[in-house]
Amino acid sequence: MTTDSESTTPSNFIRNIIDEDLKTGKNNGQVVTRFPPEPNGFLHIGHAKSICLNFGLAADYEGRCHLRFDDTNPSKEEVAYVDSIMTDVRWLGFDWGANLYYTSDYFEKIYDAAVSLIKLGKAYVCDLTPEEMREYRGTLTEPGRESPQRNRPVEENLDIFQRMRDGEFADGACVLRAKIDMTSGNINMRDPIIYRVLRATHHRTGDKWCIYPMYDFAHSLSDAMESITHSICTLEFEDHRPLYDWILETLATSCHPQQIEFARLNLTYTVMSKRKLLQLVNDGHVSSWDDPRMPTISGFRRRGYTAKAIRTFCERIGVAKRDSMVDTALLEFSIREDLNELAPRALGVLRPLKVVIENYPEDQTEEFDALNHPGNPEIGTRKVPFARELYIERDDYMEDAPKKFFRMSEGREVRFRFAYLITCREAIKDANGEVVELRCTYDPETRGGSAPDGRKVKGTIHWVSASHAVDAEVRLYDRLFTVENPAGDKEQDFKELINPQSLTVLSNCKLEPSLAQAQVGDNYQFERMGYFCLDNVDSRPEQLVFNRTVTLRDTWAKMKGK
């Protein structure tokens, strides 16, 4: 089964806007977008949506997409985040070419723009404390009040702003504000702060600056400086658009990009804000940003999700103007669909139970040809060794099993995948009554798994040879949270909703020997057990660690109904 979802991009309202612009000759027929992450955390699947959208548009319209680090908040930003973001964007399959930018590279120009605003009488230094400022700002129903410094003369503003830069003022002592309209119905237009005093070492500019521009000011100017044509952002910036436009109009920049908002992606059973993800890391609820339970790109990569499946998912969910919650099951569906096609099959026993074939010679081993991919015979076969002692999945045996249990139980005959028909004779128990071994017999006439007399055997189970198996630890993952929208209730600490069963570590797994050759980045289907990959952090040649990427079917949907 193949999907060509990558080649047919459905239309959306942003494409319609661009098509119209191209028709009318706006922007000289150019399409220039940007992805502007703040380097204050790792990228998550929400960012992937924005990346696919911005880089995808640039590719489809033969334009370009810039990667711009929006690094105006030195107290929360780090070089490690910059590096991880570049790795993740590349891994997703996108390339910014020469178009790598940092807002911090524009600090001098942004400062000049602020000076220009002051000269135009459109910005002033305000001395109100943060509390006073909040009080003066007004509310949604009440207009704001003007700052006592609102009508400070231009010369005085220029002088104080220069001294702010020179370090004469303590952090928070004063700010530069745009002079717009304290009675505006849009609170963002009530003389917003555009510069603040902040002593923090910046990861690129060091201690050169002790004043930093605010997001709205820096962002609109950066877009204009880079000749962005379509500045695509999430819906919460809709109310900031008038400010974006005001800044560029007032300064009469030669380029005035169009800001377009779309709905951010929210996924069920997880949280998406970097602030919350950072709490999960800092409080030790997960091992790191790339913990396979995290909705981060690096977590998904480590878990075995493919870039292609993530891109397909982003395309499927589309671009809309209304916020919505996407079912995680849809993401997992895209992952399964890709892995089903791509992943070679293998045999792996996660919870081993020993099987001894009593009538199989002790010193004998034979090899069976196992198909690597049932839908794709060209991928060929591999050898799997068979011997007298094997392991099967503990769940594949049941004492006093019901009639419809087509697996191992005393007296029942079952097909061992690729090998023989095998009959369970007796279960050996330990002192606690726990089954520790099955004594079985095989029918030598059924090599390959079918009986010459045509008798039917319904069940087929997987197995590995005990002496040939490679040992591994396998980590199984479940939803990180127990409720669909853990961040939905502001009164409740989302961390209390963490699923205590989100990680299960199985330390005694037995895998077919070919898996000793598995490489980081390879995906496998362990037959009947799901899709798996080598853990890219903890796996060692002498102690393999596999992650379960996803189960074969949506077991979660079934469980929910119970």
- Catalytic residue annotation: 38, 264, 274
Whole-number minimum distance, CB 351 to ligand ATP, in Å? 37
Residues that bind Mg ion (rule: CB under 5 A) add up to a total of 1
Q: Which is nearer to Mg ion, 38 or 443 (CB)?
A: 38
Q: Which is nearer to ligand ATP, 114 or 260 (CB)?
A: 260
Sign for the pseudo-dihedral over CA of 215, 219, 221, 222: positive
Q: Which does 274 bind (CB under 5 to 8 A by kind): Mg ion, ligand ATP, none?
A: ligand ATP
Q: Which is nearer to ligand ATP, 101 or 169 (CB)?
A: 101
Whole-number minimum distance, CB 306 to ligand ATP, in Å? 20
Q: Which does 47 bind (CB under 5 to 8 A by kind): ligand ATP, Mg ion, none?
A: ligand ATP
Angle of helix 45-60 relative to helix 79-91, nearest 10 degrees, comes to 60
- Look up residue 9 and give its DSSP letter: P
Q: Residue holding tokens 């026993």?
A: 349
Give the interface with ligand ATP as residue ranges (CB under 6 A): 36-38, 46-47, 49-50, 233-234, 264-265, 272-275
What are the C-alpha distances in Å from 319 to residues 88, 313, 485?
A: 21, 12, 21
Q: Residue holding tokens 């902040």?
A: 198
Strand order in the sheet with 100-102: 32-35, 64-69, 100-102
Whole-number minimum distance, CB 225 to ligand ATP, in Å? 17
Q: What share of the chain is helix, strand, coil (3-state, %, to 5)?
A: 30, 25, 40
Q: Which is nearer to Mg ion, 48 or 343 (CB)?
A: 48
Whole-number minimum distance, CB 314 to ligand ATP, in Å? 9
CB-CB neighbours of 30 under 10 Å? 16
* Pair 439, 356: CB distance under 8 Å: yes
Q: Which does 109 bind (CB under 5 to 8 A by kind): Mg ion, ligand ATP, none?
A: none
Q: Which is nearer to ligand ATP, 3 or 234 (CB)?
A: 234
Whole-number minimum distance, CB 264 to ligand ATP, in Å? 3
**Region 13-52 residues binding Mg ion, contact defined as CB under 5 A:** 38
Q: Which is nearer to ligand ATP, 150 or 276 (CB)?
A: 276
Sign for the pseudo-dihedral over CA of 90, 93, 94, 97: positive
Whole-number minimum distance, CB 215 to Mg ion, in Å? 7
Q: Residue holding tokens 């120009």?
A: 109
Residue 350 sits at φ, ψ, to 5 deg, of: -85, -40
Task: Report how far residue 499's alpha carbon sits from residue 207's, in angstroms, rounded to the nearest whole number.
Answer: 43
Report the SS3 class of residue 277.
Answer: helix
Residue 238 sits at φ, ψ, to 5 deg, of: -55, -45
Tokens standing for residue 363: 């010193």
Nearest CA to 111 out of 41, 166, 186, 181 is that of 166
Q: Which does 104 bind (CB under 5 to 8 A by kind): ligand ATP, Mg ion, none?
A: none
Type of residue found at 300: F
| Nearest residue to Mg ion, by Cβ distance, number only | 38
Task: For 77-123, give the secondary structure using H, E and C.
Answer: CCHHHHHHHHHHHHHCCCCCCCCEEEHHHHHHHHHHHHHHHHHCCCE
Q: Residue holding tokens 């169009």?
A: 258
Q: Which does 407 bind (CB under 5 to 8 A by kind): ligand ATP, Mg ion, none?
A: none
Q: Which does 199 bind (CB under 5 to 8 A by kind): ligand ATP, Mg ion, none?
A: none
Tokens standing for residue 386: 């068979």
Whole-number minimum distance, CB 265 to ligand ATP, in Å? 4
| Nearest residue to ligand ATP, by Cβ distance, number only | 46
Q: Which is nearer to ligand ATP, 259 or 547 (CB)?
A: 259
Whole-number minimum distance, CB 68 to ligand ATP, in Å? 9
Q: Which does 272 bind (CB under 5 to 8 A by kind): ligand ATP, Mg ion, none?
A: ligand ATP
Nearest CA to 515 out of 312, 344, 260, 300 is that of 344
Tokens standing for residue 240: 């900031």
Q: Which is nearer to ligand ATP, 37 or 352 (CB)?
A: 37
Q: Which does 441 bind (CB under 5 to 8 A by kind): ligand ATP, Mg ion, none?
A: none
* Pair 341, 375: CB distance under 8 Å: yes
Binding site for Mg ion (CB under 5 A): 38
